[in-house]
Structure 1
């Protein structure tokens, strides 16, 4: 992925295309991801999206309402992709702690890497507005509960601790971002997150 920002990028789609509402929605999301990739999250405004998509501003407003609405839609798409990657990996994996921990760590990091530098920017933007922070927190809570159910069979009688799970999620986000930025390798990010998960479960067993 090129890190050089285009000074005068050409429109990312052909103008005046007649699309169904669903197809237009898909186009707008695709152009949004491309804009963030090329120019960063701050460049993504509804007006800029309309210009690059070859539509009028009212069309974009009709789909997303506000810029926070657009950012929320992008984050929800990322979350859905991450869930699909994890579920597919779980279907292929054995049901041991080692396998489950590997699936959680690998699928989280892989999904962020697949989306590239766009995700850290979107997550940072989500932290800037209360309504977006709530959306992010709600999806994080769902992810936490998913991991709890996966890890509880291997944990102590009290289950996997909430503090450990939230700490794991914070580490997952930080490690993935470091891998995206090239500070560490993807393998290092996955291995560190895997060790954090194993350690969390082992601590719960020692408390039993």
Structure 2
């Protein structure tokens, strides 16, 4: 009789892009759980099922791995917010759609977002610069909306009001980390009630649409 033998099960070999994505997923999870300083490359490599040298081969250092996580988040945040805003009608609708997308994203990545906001002194300088890059990216999405709705505003005013909205969004996102019962739609409404409502007189000094 022929022995009943089974061929060994071969694991699907990951492409470099798939492996990199897996490493970033795991790294974001561990950074969020332990904080930047307490996170070790050994633990991330172990959870990924790879060697620590392979992790270094892909990202160079723990700083590089954190920057990789942030770069991916920045690209995804820009994609979801810009796509949402593209479906809007008037400027208020455009901004509302963008805020819902922003708050949905920060909710899905709440622990990582809180890490970046709560531990700035523990993070490498390059990460702080990258976070500022995310803010500039959001600025470039919001400022044209304000300028289009109120062309009489000076560029400096548009810049200032945009920064105020960005700062408010970051604080509301952190608040939502604690208040998990607040939905992205509610957070958007609160933001617009305050920011857009407060700006309505400036944006339209002779009267015009007000916030929701």
State the partner residue of 2:191: 193
What is the alpha-carbon distance in structure 2 between the residues aligned to residue 205 and residue 129 of structure 1? 43
Structure 2 length normalisation: TM-score?
Answer: 0.77
1:28 Cα deviation from its structure 2 partner: 0.3
Structure 1's 202 and 65: CA in aligned 2 closer, same or farther, altered over 3 A? farther
State the partner residue of 2:98: 104
State the partner residue of 1:3: none
Per-residue CA deviation, residues 42-70 of structure 1 (Å, 9 max, x unaligned), is 45332211111111111111111122221
SS of the residue corresponding to residue 154 of structure 2 reads coil
Uncovered stretches (5+) of structure 2, i.e. residues with no partner: 1-10, 207-212
Q: Which runs of 4+ in 1 moved over 6 A?
A: none
1:120 Cα deviation from its structure 2 partner: 1.3
State the partner residue of 1:10: none
Greater C-alpha Rg:
2
Uncovered stretches (5+) of structure 1, i.e. residues with no partner: 1-15
Give the number of aligned pairs.
190
8 A contact 1:171–1:193 mirrored in 2: yes
Structure 1's 121 and 17: CA in aligned 2 closer, same or farther, altered over 3 A? farther
Structure 1 length normalisation: TM-score?
Answer: 0.78
SS of the residue corresponding to residue 161 of structure 1 reads helix
Alignment counterpart, residue 161 of structure 1, candidates 153, 158, 161: 158
